[in-house]
Amino acid sequence: MTRQAPLPAAVFKAYDIRGTVPGQLNAEFAHQLGLALAQRARAEGVGTLVVGYDGRLSSPELAQGLQNGLMQGGIDTLDLGMVPTPVVYFAAYTQHTGSGVAITGSHNPPDYNGFKMMMDGKTLYGADIQKLAQIMAAPEPVDAIAPGTRRELDLLDAYVEHIRSTITLARPMKIAIDCGNGVGGAVAARLFRALGCEVDELYCEVDGRFPNHHPDPADPHNLEDLIRHVKESGCELGLAFDGDADRLGVVTPSGEIIWPDRQLILYAQDVLQRQPGSTIIFDVKCSRHVARAIKQAGGKPLMWQTGHSMIKAKLAETGAPLAGEMSGHIFFKERWFGFDDGLYAGARLLEILSAHDRPWTVLEALPKDISTPEIKLEMQEGQPHALIARLQEEGQFPSATNISTIDGVRAEYADGFGLARASNTTPVIVLRFEGDTAEDLERIMDEFRQALTALAPDIVLPF
């Protein structure tokens, strides 16, 4: 019997499985994961999983390995081929499996890949992913199990038509889209043209080497080409998508970036017109203006932990019609299925803005303070969570009006907020600050400096 190589523990993240190819993730790993998912599926009475993959060079091989493991474990697969991650979720709902795997490295560098998984309608995260690692290390024998079958399924036309049939623009719009050579390029232009838009395409050829810029709209540098094009072309708006198209970036003709927490205000105002009094969920990294705007629009703001899996679970638990996080994951339950979908979020945004002759003015009028981008304090593995745990217990924030510890430490002030939380994907502490004025911002940052250095005197802070 062949001895199984030890599993790379570092790839089992809080929200998904992610690592480098082929050192950590390869066809053999994917096969073992398929067997483990099959074991869980059998236990839950799930007979079929949908599988789709992004445009990375390693994705087809991982998809094949995963499906071989699933089928060996007695589970049928619906093979979607190369599709955006939201199309995998769309298939899980419309094909009534509630279960599927998106093979994607999201916005990570080209030598990364990963697996986002759902089973019986629930996203697998946290303890579920650690349990999969345990099963992979010691799987049940499958020799006596009848193997599953694989069926190819092309759902891109159905996905586009479903959105087209439920989204109505008040007028045609001229937009630019930048897919960063990610898998969103396989469908984005088709979708927005189907909605009646004139579409200028930037980097919509799927290329897993990402030759033009990194497919991550959370980094302003990756939006520079889109901003330039929108300024010069007469487009009303620019939309950017990350590597697997589950996140959305937005820019205006003046070059202003409309960060996702400000976008969420617009979506919330729209949804609350039809579902007054509803709960709207946002993550701890979002501006104070999100909660204020939700209240003003007649909704109930609920701040929650960062992470698409955590937000999705809270959405299901509360029955909220809408959720969003600063990273760009937006979850519409009202008129959609409740999963994060950058392409669908873009369509909803255009639906709102098409009622205005100068749509960029609507976006630029959304409230904003002076704020920092995400600041990352790099540390050794294990250190961030330990320091944040101490900060939650011992940290001193003398001028704060309220402290939330649902995800790190978020200190609220009369004139701003500060956040320090441990990333669940890399060994860093993520910090973010917002203030009414530059002076307010600096004072809040200084209070966090003092709180952190009081606990870790040798720490070198990047702010």
Q: Where are the beta strands (DSSP E) in 207-286?
A: 237-241, 248-251, 279-283
How much is the pLDDT for 233?
Answer: 97
Residue 120 · residue 98 · CB < 8 Å: yes
pLDDT in tens, 48-82: 999 999 999 999 999 999 999 999 999 999 999 99
Which residues are the active-site residues?
106
Whether residue 1 is predicted with pLDDT greater than 60 in this model: the reply is no
Residue 82 · residue 156 · CB < 8 Å: no
Q: What percent of the chain is modeled with pLDDT above 90?
A: 96
Strand 279-283 relative to strand 375-378: parallel, antiparallel, unpaired?
A: unpaired
How much is the pLDDT for 426?
Answer: 84
Distance CA 150, CA 164 (A): 29
Give the helix/strand (H/E) hosting 348.
Answer: helix 342-353
Distance CA 312, CA 309 (A): 5
Instruction: Count other C-beta atoms under 10 Å from residue 295's C-beta.
Output: 12
pLDDT in tens, 435-451: 999 999 999 999 999 99
Distance CA 153, CA 410 (A): 45
Single out the residue of 25, 117, 106, 24 nearest to residue 70, CA to CA.
117
- Rounded (10°) CA dihedral 229, 230, 233, 239: 100
Query: DSSP class of residue 280?
Result: E
Give the helix/strand (H/E) hosting 33.
Answer: helix 27-44
Quickly state the pLDDT bin for 3 (edges 50, 70, 90).
very low
Mean pLDDT (the chain) is 96
Fill in the amino acid letter for 286. C
Residue that wins the pLDDT comparison between 6 and 173: 173
What number is the average pLDDT over the span 393-416? 98
Whether residue 373 is predicted with pLDDT greater than 90 in this model: the reply is no
Q: Where are the beta strands (DSSP E) in 138-278?
A: 150-152, 174-178, 198-202, 237-241, 248-251
How much is the pLDDT for 6?
Answer: 85
pLDDT in tens, 272-327: 999 999 999 999 999 999 999 999 999 999 999 999 989 999 999 999 999 999 99
How much is the pLDDT for 4?
Answer: 62
What number is the average pLDDT over the span 207-230? 97
How much is the pLDDT for 299?
Answer: 98
Residue 86 · residue 341 · CB < 8 Å: yes
Give the helix/strand (H/E) hosting 332.
Answer: strand 330-332
SS3 70: helix
Single out the residue of 104, 373, 365 nearest to residue 217, CA to CA.
373
Secondary structure tally for the chain: helices H, strands E: 14, 21
Fill in the amino acid letter for 252. T
Distance CA 41, CA 48 (A): 8
Q: Crossing angle of helices 85-94/156-166, nearest 10°?
A: 80
Give the helix/strand (H/E) hosting 321.
Answer: none
Residue 46 · residue 12 · CB < 8 Å: no
pTM of the predicted model as reported, rounded to 2 decimal places: 0.96
Q: What domains appear along the chain, each with residue ranges and CATH number?
A: 9-155 (3.40.120.10), 174-251 (3.40.120.10), 260-364 (3.40.120.10), 370-455 (3.30.310.50)
Q: Crossing angle of helices 59-72/27-44, nearest 10°?
A: 40
State both tokens at 152: 């190819």
Distance CA 273, CA 275 (A): 6
Phi, psi angle pair for 66, to nearest 5°:
-60, -45
Quickly state the pLDDT bin for 424 (edges 50, 70, 90).
confident
What number is the average pLDDT over the span 98-107? 96
Quickly state the pLDDT bin for 2 (edges 50, 70, 90).
very low
Angle CA 383–281–89, to nearest 5? 85
Distance CA 239, CA 223 (A): 9
Residue 261, sorted as left (phi over 0), alpha (psi -120 to 50) or beta, turns out to be alpha
Peptide bond into 22 cis (omega under 30): yes
